[in-house]
Amino acid sequence: MTSTPKTVSIPKNGVDYRGKIVLAPMVRSGECPSRLLALKYGADLVWGPETIDKALIGTTRRENATTNTVDFTRISSDGAKNPALNPEQRESVIYRLHPEKEGRQLIYQIGTSNPETAVQAAKLIAPDVAGIDVNAGCPKPFSTSGGMGAALLKTPDKLCSILESLVKEVGEPNKIGISVKIRILDTAEETEVLVRRLVATGITGLTVHCRTTPMRPRERAIRDQLKMVANICREAGVACLMNGDVASREDALALVAEYGCDGAMIATAAETNPSVFRLQAEGGKAPWEEVVEEYVKTSIAVENRWGNTKFLLGQMIPGKHPAFNSMTHTKSYTQLVKALKYDDELLKMAMAVDKALEIGEYEKPKLTKAERKAANKAVTKPAATPQDRPMQEEVRKTAAGMKRKAETAELDMPPDIARQAGPASVPESASALAV
């Protein structure tokens, strides 16, 4: 008789990663419309972009009746020195999900270096997702400089503590699984020691990106440690996904069979064309024109941030096609729909979203540098009359209460907020790949 492979128990509200081909977590490329499109074309699960725990802590959960999404928002830190300059200050959407279309297929990836803050943030979003995944593989400075991402590979005690805390304090109460995404280490022996520790923390899934921390996406994935990692996970009953140079569903299935993994992630290929999740027998990879139109419609439907939409279109539209040049010159959804010559119905929707997002012709005039300086000076100088003092003091208190260190303020602001100009403005440090 052959023994039945060990399998960890999948929580009631969680999901089993076995047999799944999924969308990898990608900064900027894993926002709500990208995930919905991946699911439309056959992705079994979708990972959201790494979101730092401190960015989520302090947000307000709102059910958006217009977009049918759940939004986690906070007041933007922009203008914190003098809130009186912007009395109608808008809330920034830190994380947006669509409960009906992705809720039970969405894995929230958390960036963290601390068990306490990890738990605090994860508790906020756990009821709305199918799992929490810890990012222990991002090599970018914005992650590693804070001891997060790939830096956790050098502090395995801390990483295990984070996972154990999430399992006990978030996974078990919410009946969802906790997982982790890592990179391979320099030697198979080092990787083996780490993986054996990780699978003993109570996690239900482990993804291994087949690159070392210094490696970049352009460097070919190294798979010589993959079978070993898959075997350790199988012994512990933990699902093992692989990531790195996976181009399509057929490609993923072939790699899974070859290396004995339970599933695979698709990253860069899905960023360019999410229809790569569809089997050839079911239509295969769709023409970019079809995918781009679906993406624009979806982005408008969920009122996606304009800068993020424009960035993704820069990945989807071939650079030499006339449509690429037309797209890069647009500054709103209305201009985009006109440039790509879509129908009047979508144009009406685009105009409504532009108004809601205050972009394009609906963008509010900004204060000049001189006007802002004068307004700030007015707050700091002595009140002209006794009657003015209470109001001025209140503004000072508010400004002081909102003042934060630069690194904290950055957490409040999604990466593309300050980069509305489009693809050409994205620096190398803001690479789409999170892990």
For 189-232, how does the pLDDT look when each residue is reduced to its tens digit (9 = 90+)? 999 999 999 999 999 999 999 999 998 888 999 999 999 999 99
Q: Tell me the CA distances in angstroms from 124 to 40, 80, 119, 169, one per residue in order.
A: 27, 25, 9, 12
Read off the tokens for 425: 């403005």
Please report how many Cα atoms fall inside a 13 Å half-sphere around the Cα of residue 99, on the Cβ side.
14
* Total number of residues shown for the chain: 435
Q: Where are the alpha helices (DSSP H) in 92-179?
A: 99-102, 115-125, 141-144, 156-166, 172-174
Given a contact cutoff of 8 angstroms between Cβ atoms, the answer to whether 199 and 208 are in contact is: no
Is the overall model pTM greater than 0.75, yes or no?
yes
Say which DSSP state 433 is in: B
For 27-55, how does the pLDDT look when each residue is reduced to its tens digit (9 = 90+)? 989 999 999 999 999 999 999 999 999 99
Lowest mean pLDDT among 17-21, 86-90, 424-428: 424-428
Of 2.160.20.60, 3.20.20.140, 2.70.210.12, 3.20.20.70, which CATH number belongs to 20-282? 3.20.20.70
- What is d(CA 53, CA 120) in angstroms, rounded to the nearest whole number? 8
pLDDT band at 88 (very low <50, low <70, confident <90, very high): low
**Active site positions, annotated:** 138
For 183-196, how does the pLDDT look when each residue is reduced to its tens digit (9 = 90+)? 999 999 999 999 99
DSSP three-state, residue 71: strand
Given a contact cutoff of 8 angstroms between Cβ atoms, the answer to whether 80 and 68 are in contact is: no
45, amino acid identity: L
For 333-362, how does the pLDDT look when each residue is reduced to its tens digit (9 = 90+)? 999 999 999 999 999 999 999 999 999 999
Q: Where are the alpha helices (DSSP H) in 62-217?
A: 99-102, 115-125, 141-144, 156-166, 172-174, 188-198
For residue 392, the model assigns a pLDDT of 55
